[in-house]
Amino acid sequence: MKTLEIPKDGLAGLKQNWTADALSGFLVFLLALPLSLGIAKASGFPAAMGVLTAMIGGMLVSIFQGGRLTIKGPAAGLITVCSGAVTDLGNLNLEGVTAVQLACGAVVVMSIIQFVFGILKFGSFSDFFPHSAVHGMLAAIGVLIFAKQFPILLGVPGELTKGLSPIELYTHIPTFIAHATPQIAIVGVLSLIIIFGLPMLGGLFKKIPGPMVVLVIMIPLAVFFDFKTNHASALVTIGDFWGNVTFNASFAAIGTGVFWKYVFMFLFVNSLESLLTVKAIDGLDPWKRPSDYNKDLRGLAVGNGLAGLLGGLPMISEVARSSANVGYGARTRWANFFHGLFLFVAMLVMIPLIEMIPNAALAAMLIAVAYRLASPKEFIGTYKIGPEQFVIFIVTIIVTVAEDLLLGVFAGILTKFIFHIINGAPVRSLFKADYSVNETEDQYLINVRGVATFSNFLGYKKLWNTLKPGKNIIFNFEQAKLVDHSFMDQLHHFEDSHHQTGGHVSLVNLDHLNAFSSHPLAARKLMKEAPDKIEIRLSPRQIALRKFANSNEYDFNAQHVRVAAKYKDFPIQQGNKIRFEENVLSKYADVGKIEIADMTLVQGARQDRSETHVTVIHISETDLPIPDFALEPESFGTKFSELMGGKDIDFAEYPEFSRKYYLRGDPEATVRTFFSEPVIRFLENHEEIHIECHKHRLLIYKKVDLLDPHEIEVLEKYAEEFVQLIKERIEQHA
């Protein structure tokens, strides 16, 4: 396919992209409505105030935001802070004001500081915090959310949970199960089954908003159980929403320490979580448009200030809704606007229906969010990066759950510093970036010296912002003594963005640094003694592939290899991110250069991220004038793509082919000419396959899964026959 044309911004962008953005905004609205209600209730706010925040995040903040595809609204990551603020500020017992009003006052003050931070260009300071501590903070929030929502899921009487600490809530789980309300528990458990089961069905079902499916089923079920009569308190309460949207913030507690504690907790979590999400969504943007983090921070501050004044929750750039927005085909910030607009309309005409939603269904949605934040893959993934990262992760979780969030993150950062000092980092070098730069006409040579860690990364980021796009950059680690995981991860993101400018990034002389694990982004430190030989252990799959390679005259490379530029603008990249390929088999044949590889496709971002694996054949150096196209078997997914504005090139004279395959390409006339009768008959007479072409290079794969050596052999034969057919057709018409 040709390189994607960057969508216009502003009013011109609205005119150009309103159909795609409106459809994506509507689908995100289906996610946002129930989640906003549930997050508000879990935070101790009136349920409708969550929707108010999402409305403001969409209709107002979309105008000012610095990112194109992020969705602003209330988020599960702030539930712990919000509920803590309501509880602790309510304990002040100030006459004439409610706990929620005091919490809103803290949000307003936070928004002012946040706006100043945006003016002072503090957006980059989110890069200071070590990744394991941040992930530990989010996992701890997941642990806390589950503890508080599990009793609601089962309809446990409130007096059984009152005053219990998070640890006590877990120890009382058997008691909660014994005292569950059967009808409410049925709604809650069925909701969980739907939310977790729907994506397992694959295909189109992965794109259907699970929370909305829950409501479509559970509202009638609550009516069947007559919740209004038997369990009225188990339903959402909205009341006079528009009458309550007024000045609701109170600053009566501004002179207390607890007020300022929550101001800074709101500021820390709100800003950090939002900026990290903006960065993650930038990586998913098909057009790779960089966001203005400081502008986004200022836009967020405006939204937080208005939401706090009117009684709403604080908002962030929410990762799950933002990831879904990308997946639904959003093109500009107007998708966020439309999501807010649909919420506004819902609160005008749907309040009676919203008040039929069972709280247990909302609890199930929040438990699903909690699971993503603290899923086993978060623990396993952190351990694979390195044992020291796992310790930081666990320390952050324990201190956060036992004490509070700020102390948890501080404990994680302190643990990270301790590890750096143990690994030989001088204290004076932890905060100062030490490097030298040599520039030539087409290249930068950056010599990394001493230690490169999360705490001195901002110095390196300042350097990276001065590097010209399109140049080759060599990072030389010959003089480095310690490189931590956070620095390696940031360098990895820099590689991605620099490749998009046409440049290339190389890392040299890393071999003398001993990696803490086999993970490609693991921390590394200087070896005291050079090893005699590093033995590379192959997995059973790699052993089988090496045997296949030896039998078929392929070169075999088992290591992770960067492929950001190699597959740039191939359709397989749309909605996916490819960082590495491994198990690469390569050789030159009559049809050109053939490369077979295992690739990891990443969808979503951060806790909403999922991975799939696929074995592909890449054929290049064919010298054949093949147009850009993408061919894939017809499925629920392709039908959804057509609904989203995709164009299927059909052939009236070949109905079987058109039923079998979804074909798109540009220019259409050239694609139609290429797909002559012999090509179409070849495709009709073989098994369904995925074929993509970009700049005369072909990418062929059978299914989104790994292939065994026999399947690879069959696919290789198919690919060679297909290219040979194309060569013969072109030679006949030469």
* pLDDT, tens digit (0-9, with 9 covering 90-100), for 192-246: 999 999 888 876 677 788 899 999 999 999 999 999 999 999 999 998 999 989 9
Confidence band, pLDDT 50/70/90 cuts, at residue 290: confident
* Residue 57 pLDDT exceeds 90: yes
Strand 524-526 with 472-483, pairing: antiparallel
Tell me what pLDDT residue 329 has.
86
Domain ranges (residues) in the chain: 10-398, 427-516, 540-732
* pLDDT, tens digit (0-9, with 9 covering 90-100), for 308-343: 999 999 999 998 899 889 888 899 999 999 999 999
Nearest to 499 by CA among 536, 472, 480: 472
Rounded average pLDDT over 370-385: 91
Tell me what pLDDT residue 734 has.
59
Preceding omega of 667 cis (within 30 degrees of 0): yes
* pLDDT, tens digit (0-9, with 9 covering 90-100), for 465-522: 899 988 999 999 999 999 999 999 889 888 878 877 778 888 899 888 898 987 888 9
Confidence band, pLDDT 50/70/90 cuts, at residue 532: very low
**Two structure tokens written together for 128:** 């200071």
| Amino acid, res. 360 | A
Tell me what pLDDT residue 206 has.
74
Rounded average pLDDT over 45-71: 95
- The answer to whether 581 and 597 are in contact (CB under 8 A) is yes
- The CA–CA distances, whole Å, from 655 to 426, 502, 647, 652, 681 equal 71, 42, 16, 6, 11
Confidence band, pLDDT 50/70/90 cuts, at residue 18: very high
- The CA–CA distances, whole Å, from 665 to 274, 630, 647, 675 equal 37, 6, 9, 11
Confidence band, pLDDT 50/70/90 cuts, at residue 529: low
- The answer to whether 314 and 110 are in contact (CB under 8 A) is yes
Q: Give the span between the Cα atoms of 388 and 421, in whole angstroms.
A: 13
Tell me what pLDDT residue 533 has.
44
- The answer to whether 729 and 675 are in contact (CB under 8 A) is no
Tell me what pLDDT residue 215 has.
93
Strand 690-694 with 697-701, pairing: antiparallel
Give Cβ neighbours of residue 461 (< 8 Å, ≥ 6 apart). Answer: 124, 127, 490
Rounded average pLDDT over 170-174: 95
Tell me what pLDDT residue 613 has.
87
- The answer to whether 180 and 155 are in contact (CB under 8 A) is yes
Q: Give the span between the Cα atoms of 597 and 604, in whole angstroms.
A: 23
3-state secondary structure of 637: helix
SS3 content of the chain, % helix, strand, coil (to 5): 55, 15, 30
Tell me what pLDDT residue 30 has.
92
Q: What are phi and psi of 97, to 5 degrees?
A: -135, 150
Q: Give the span between the Cα atoms of 93 and 99, in whole angstroms.
A: 8
Tell me what pLDDT residue 320 has.
87
- The answer to whether 71 and 321 are in contact (CB under 8 A) is yes
Confidence band, pLDDT 50/70/90 cuts, at residue 534: very low
What sign does the dihedral 598-601-606-610 (CA atoms) show?
negative
**Two structure tokens written together for 586:** 């390569």
CA 514 from chain center: how many Å? 30
As a dihedral over the C-alpha atoms of residue 139, residue 26, residue 294, residue 315, rounded to 10 degrees, the angle is -50
List residues bridging with 588 in a β-sheet: 593
- The CA–CA distances, whole Å, from 91 to 100, 103, 491 equal 12, 12, 46
The secondary structure of residue 164, as a DSSP letter, is -
CA 143 from chain center: how many Å? 20
Top mean pLDDT of 276-290, 557-571, 662-676 is at 662-676
* pLDDT, tens digit (0-9, with 9 covering 90-100), for 124-133: 777 888 889 9
Greater model confidence, 519 or 303: 303
- The answer to whether 581 and 559 are in contact (CB under 8 A) is no
Q: Give the span between the Cα atoms of 644 and 632, in whole angstroms.
A: 17
Burial of 666 (0-12, 13-18, 19+ CB in 10 A): middle
Tell me what pLDDT residue 643 has.
53
Tell me what pLDDT residue 485 has.
92
Tell me what pLDDT residue 203 has.
65
Tell me what pLDDT residue 531 has.
47
CA 298 from chain center: how many Å? 22
Tell me what pLDDT residue 2 has.
47
Top mean pLDDT of 287-291, 353-357, 684-688 is at 353-357
* pLDDT, tens digit (0-9, with 9 covering 90-100), for 421-434: 999 899 888 999 99
Q: Give the span between the Cα atoms of 330 and 644, in whole angstroms.
A: 10
| Rg of the chain over all Cα atoms, to the nearest angstrom | 27
- The answer to whether 265 and 81 are in contact (CB under 8 A) is yes
- Provide the CB-side half-sphere exposure for 144 (13 A, CA): 27
- The answer to whether 662 and 632 are in contact (CB under 8 A) is yes
* pLDDT, tens digit (0-9, with 9 covering 90-100), for 683-728: 999 999 999 998 888 999 998 889 999 999 999 999 999 999 988 8
Q: What are phi and psi of 266, to 5 degrees?
A: -60, -45
Nearest to 336 by CA among 105, 22, 79: 22
Q: Find the angle CA(263)-CA(265)-CA(266) to the nearest 5 degrees.
A: 65
Nearest to 268 by CA among 74, 445, 125, 96: 125
* Residue 22 pLDDT exceeds 50: yes
List residues bridging with 479 in a β-sheet: 449
Greater model confidence, 442 or 204: 442
* Residue 622 pLDDT exceeds 60: yes
Fold that domain 427-516 belongs to in CATH: Transcription Regulator spoIIAA (3.30.750)
As a dihedral over the C-alpha atoms of residue 274, residue 568, residue 603, residue 382, rounded to 10 degrees, the angle is -70
Q: Give the span between the Cα atoms of 304 and 261, in whole angstroms.
A: 17
Tell me what pLDDT residue 494 has.
87
* pLDDT, tens digit (0-9, with 9 covering 90-100), for 536-576: 567 888 899 999 999 999 999 887 766 666 777 777 766 67
Mean pLDDT for the chain overall = 89
**Two structure tokens written together for 247:** 């000045």
- The answer to whether 454 and 486 are in contact (CB under 8 A) is yes
Q: Give the span between the Cα atoms of 430 and 668, in whole angstroms.
A: 57
DSSP secondary structure, 373-420, as one string: HT-HHHHHHHHHH-HHHHHHHHHHHHHHHHS-HHHHHHHHHHHHHHHH
Helix intervals (H) in 531-635: 540-551
- The answer to whether 401 and 166 are in contact (CB under 8 A) is yes
**Two structure tokens written together for 463:** 């350097």
